[in-house]
Chain A
Amino acid sequence: MRTNRTVVGCTTFLALLSGLPAAFARDIHYGAIFDDDVIACDQLHWRGQIEESRECYSELLRNSDSLAARAEAAWALKDLQTANSLFQQAMRLNPDDVVTRVRWGDLYADSHQDAEAMEIYREALERDENDPFAQLGAARVLAGSFDDAANAFLTPLLTDPTKADGARVGALLLSARVALENGRRDEAVDALDDAEEIVNRNDWPPLEIFALRAAADLLNNVTESSWTEASLEYNPHYGGIYEVPAHFYVITRRYRGAIDLYQKAVDIDSSLASAHEELGVNLLRDNQVSRARKHLVTAHDQDPFSPIAVNTLRLLDSFANFTLINDPEMPNDAGLEPVTLRLHKEEAAAIAPYAIQLTRDSIKEFTERYNFQLREPVIIEMYPDHEDFAVRTAGMPGLGILGATFGYVVAMDSPSGRPPEHFQWGTTLWHELAHVFTLEATDHLVPRWFSEGISVFEEWRSGPNPGVRIPMSVYNAMNDDRFLPVAELDEGFLRPTYEEQIIVSYMQAGLVCLYIDSEYGAESLRALLYKFGEGTLTGEAIEAVLGISPEEFDKGFDRYVRSEHGAILDNFEDWHRTQLSIQQKLSDEDWSGIIELAKHLISLLPGYIEPDSPYLALAHAHDELGERQKAIAVLETFSANGGYDPAALKRLGHWLYEVNRLSDAIDILQSVNLVDPLDQELHGALGDMLLEDQRAEEALLEYSIALALNPHDKATAYYRMANAYHELGNDEQSQNYLLQALDVAPNFRPAQRLLLDLMRADSDNQH
């Protein structure tokens, strides 16, 4: 049995008591410190005179009379325990020294201990509610966790010109960064201009401004920024000039570009732990595992407090429990695109055959539809432990998604990672494989909404379980008129403003693509994709390809949604009321009472196949009333509409078998493998049906998987293998498996009979 590994969250590390040196660049504090001796050392550091600054800090640590100055020196020398201890002593001696208290908070923030940092900032603000550096520190911590409460601290710094220059610079840099992340380039540049004016006036290092300006250039597709040169001239060892822009490559999914920049960052500053860490995480996204590990180890050595490096290294350690499956195993001339699977050893045999087939089918489908030939092997990883998948994707646990694509690398939950009634792994894989195409065909320039829209559209249209599936929460949003204008649809993914906005945006994006496909044709979807590949924004792309304004598009889309989903939108209250009635009647076992209610809901929304689908209630009612044929018909319709509840489909499969619809039973049970491939009894039963249908090769696959899943009844499992091999004419293998069956159960009559048949046939052949 696999157990969940412990994954480290943001706030689980103890305070700075380990005594291990952390490694991060000396921050530019913009006047938060007044000690001239400290500033003198800092100025050497900010100019890239590393050895000289190190000697300066060492001298300060040895000889300064000021506890705070010695704390700063220890911090700069990366001796955090000493720094913490000195700050503590300074606070004991002078608890009202707000300046030093805030710096102490900054030390905790720099070592990823945000909760402790916030506590210290609050203590500082209790003593001086207007202390600007305490406000800045709090804003930074809250902004880092996307908490809107940051604004309460940030706004006064941005709007009050009497606030300390240094705090204003910090606030302007923070708001510039956030603006760039939100796509508001002009706003960012204005903030940087304001910051630059203050920095120049105070003769502070302009490095962070240079870095954000270089990032702005990058987002404007200027890769060789003059600001990089300026920064290197000022300080040839300032890694941030590459690290900051790299971050923007990451958030726009240009991982290889990010890797190049992070590498340059550590090339000029090998002690930049954060860059090593991000380099490691992004190398992993590019499947460069050994290189990734090297940088993550360095990051962890330099900064043992960062949970990302630890979590990711633990994840890499867990790869020992995974197996790599290459298909084809050897390069061949058949023209098959190479596919690599990284699957947990206990599941690999059950998942690999289906995953490979799905991948091949999707590659064929998408190559043709999007006119793009893959250039590299696709790598697919499936994680039984969802938190491992979360760490793989984001470096941290607690992620809500099912799969992620980084280019040619796809990572997703394994079928065993989630309850099967809520997770169609085959459909998720199809969705992610569509991302491979949309990302690579556009060099990762496709906007998020369109890439998600295509993936959802392909799930619905061409996936292993086709059908437009929309959760009720999204209908709620439609009913509340919460769909976004198409030109703003990215916001729904990147900056959601309510809890369910992301799933609503997924569905909206899928519907947009469905609308474009039906109204303007498949070639328009393709044309849009390639237009985005030129770096065109959504509004312009819509106009260029579809010949209408985004506003006109939105009107047309609204009409489409109304016409396709008007029945449910006009009867929303009725739907919810009737659902409640059905649930009550299920509890009361009032089977007759359910029939008409369920049929009514199905007429309103025939595509609704979620776990509370009326199809399931209706089928259950018919079955309880002894109306098996009707129950079968209902579940067949459920399946045809994309329903995937594995318990219901397994039941349907066996019912179909019982009424001698063998081929239909097989189809249904095969579809269950794309939801729940780890049910060894299902594989056995399906194998039996396939054998009965004279499809011995397919039966053998099912039996092989059943055997690989460590069945309880091994004798039967071996016997089934023997039987299938016998049907395929491979009596040598048949005999091998019979011996294994009889070794477990010597008195197993069916195996004994088959053995005698084989021996006698062999004897007859020899005569």
Chain B
Amino acid sequence: MAVAPSLEHDLKFSSRFIAGFLICAPFTAFSAMHVVVVEGLGGEARYIEQFAEQVAVLESAAQSLTDENQIRVFRADDVSRDEVLQYFADLKSATTNSDQVALFLIGHGSYDDHEYKFNIPGPDLTGEDIAEMLNSLPSTSQLLVNTSSASGAIAELAANENRMLILATKSGVERHATRFGGYFAAALQDPSADIDKNQVISAAEAFSFAERQVDDYFERNGQLATEHPRLEGNRADRFSVARLGEVRRDTADSVLTDLIAERDEINAMINSLRLEQDNMTPENYRSALLRHMVRLAETEEAIEARETELGDEN
């Protein structure tokens, strides 16, 4: 009885995927990626456990993207405001403007209508602290993910043309413990979050997955939503937060290099075709798309075969 969606409708191209498609290997355009994870106080046992699990996932995801010495995790039982601030002060001189920096805050937050605070032992990290420590860095590609309650309170403070923000709440008024953090962490390990199937989860993909899960949760349970996640900044689709597949090694093999170049060329042709879609009949578009997709598939098949050969030779 279910009616399959029409082909014509579903071949209409989403601009979101144009943006994602244009940039195939986001993080390799940058020099280095630095990841900082700060785990806040859980209070109750269930939150302590949840936050620890989320931090473990983030750490594992960071390891799939960058070197161990560029990852710093501050655990809840061993973190202080001074240490975090000092770390960022040191990071300032250790990073360049072409580096990427991601800061993840996993914990509870509070907002008293004046000031946001991320709860850690001792003096809390304030919204101003967070904004200033990121502002001090030369990096022009920054990601701040704050999954705490009331995290939306820092949206304006932390807004910056170099920075993407992913916040669990729309404002400081949403003060309940959030579900967003758990879903965001789950996105980093779930292939269904990888919308474009490039084996890399972008910040946009992780946000989109988690936002959908939050919506679905409240709708299925018939509850009024107590949190509304928000994403600010334009380049979240180009900022990787996890890798699902293996890293493809750089190669000097000319055959492989040519195949990769051919693949990139086909991808560019597909992108151009999409831009022309409205000027084509559905049949012509479909026919052209099919030709390109077949070529792309054949090229990818050849790349895999060549990699296997090279692997066998080694």
Q: Which residues of A contact B (CB under 8 A)?
A: 1-2, 325, 327, 349-350, 352-353, 356, 416, 418-420, 678, 681, 701, 704-705, 707-708, 711-716, 718, 721, 733, 735-740, 742-749, 751-753, 755-756, 759
Contact = CB atoms under 8 A, between A and B. Distances in A.
Nearest to A754: B297
B293 to A, nearest CB: 5
Nearest to A735: B290
Interface stretch (B47-55, B96-104, B188-196): B188-196
B10 interface: yes
Contact of B4 (A352, A707, A739, A749): A707
Given A739-B290, A743-B289, A327 B208 contact: no
Interface in B266-292: 267, 270, 286, 289-290
A420 B196 CA distance: 32
B5 A739 contact: no
B196 A744 contact: yes
B192 A713 contact: yes
B3 interface: yes
B5 A325 contact: no
Contacts of A716: 191-192
Nearest to B271: A746
6 contacts: A419-B221, A712-B208, A739-B293, A743-B10, A743-B289, A744-B17
- Residue of B192, B193, B215, B297 most packed against chain A (CB within 10 A): B297
Nearest to B218: A1
A707 B221 contact: no
Interface residues of B, number: 41
Given A678-B220, A739-B7, A746-B21, 13 more contacts: A325-B1, A418-B222, A704-B3, A712-B193, A716-B191, A716-B192, A718-B10, A736-B7, A744-B196, A747-B198, A747-B199, A753-B301, A756-B297
Nearest to B212: A712
Contact of B267 (A352, A715, A746, A755): A746
A714 B196 CA distance: 9
Contacts of A742: 289, 293, 296
Contacts of A721: 4
B56 interface: no
Nearest to B298: A756
Contact of A715 (B195, B212, B290): B195
Given A715-B197, A745-B196, A749-B197, A755 B1 contact: no
Contact of A755 (B3, B191, B215, B297): B297
B197 A756 contact: no
A330 to B, nearest CB: 14
B1 A746 contact: no
Contacts, number: 113
Contacts of B87: none
Nearest to B300: A752
A718 to B, nearest CB: 8
> Interface of chain A, helix or strand or loop or mixed?
helix
A107 to B, nearest CB: 39
B252 interface: no
Given A739-B7, A740-B11, A752-B293, A747 B219 contact: no
A725 to B, nearest CB: 9
Interface in B173-219: 191-199, 208-209, 212, 215, 219
- Residue of B191, B192, B194, B208 most packed against chain A (CB within 10 A): B192
Contacts of A1: 215, 219
B30 interface: no
B60 to A, nearest CB: 21
A349 B301 CA distance: 37
A352 B7 contact: no
B296 to A, nearest CB: 6
The 5 closest A-B pairs by CB, nearest first: A704-B2, A752-B297, A745-B197, A713-B192, A748-B197
Contacts of A2: 219
Contacts of B196: 715, 744-747
Nearest to B4: A704
Contacts of A704: 2-4
A747 B5 CA distance: 22
A757 to B, nearest CB: 10
A707 B7 CA distance: 13
A128 B312 CA distance: 106
Given A743-B289, A744-B196, A708 B2 contact: yes
Interface in B23-69: 24
A746 B290 CA distance: 11
A759 B21 contact: no
A696 B250 CA distance: 41
Given A1-B219, A721-B4, A743 B197 contact: no
Contacts of A745: 195-198
A709 B135 CA distance: 42
A126 B253 CA distance: 102
A704 B2 CA distance: 6
Contact of A746 (B7, B293, B301): B293
B247 interface: no
Given A349-B1, A752-B301, A714 B195 contact: yes
Contacts of A746: 21, 196, 267, 270, 293, 296
B195 A349 contact: no
Nearest to A733: B4
Given A713-B193, A755-B297, A756-B298, A701 B11 contact: no
- Residue of B10, B17, B220 most packed against chain A (CB within 10 A): B10
A740 B7 contact: yes
Contact of B1 (A356, A712, A713, A735): A356
Interface string B208-248: 11001001000111100000000000000000000000000
Nearest to B245: A749
Contacts of A752: 293, 296-297, 300-301
Contacts of B193: 712-713
- Residue of A736, A740, A743, A745 most packed against chain B (CB within 10 A): A743
Nearest to A1: B219
A2 B219 CA distance: 8
B116 to A, nearest CB: 28
Contacts of B297: 752-753, 755-756
A708 B10 CA distance: 12
Contact of B192 (A712, A738, A744, A749): A712
A356 B270 CA distance: 43
B221 to A, nearest CB: 7
Contacts of B21: 746
A327 B2 CA distance: 12
Contacts of B270: 746
Contacts of A678: 220
Nearest to B190: A713
B217 to A, nearest CB: 12
Contacts of A751: 197
Contact of A743 (B11, B191, B222): B11
Contacts of B10: 718, 740, 743
Contacts of A743: 10-11, 13, 289
Nearest to A721: B4
A744 B1 contact: no
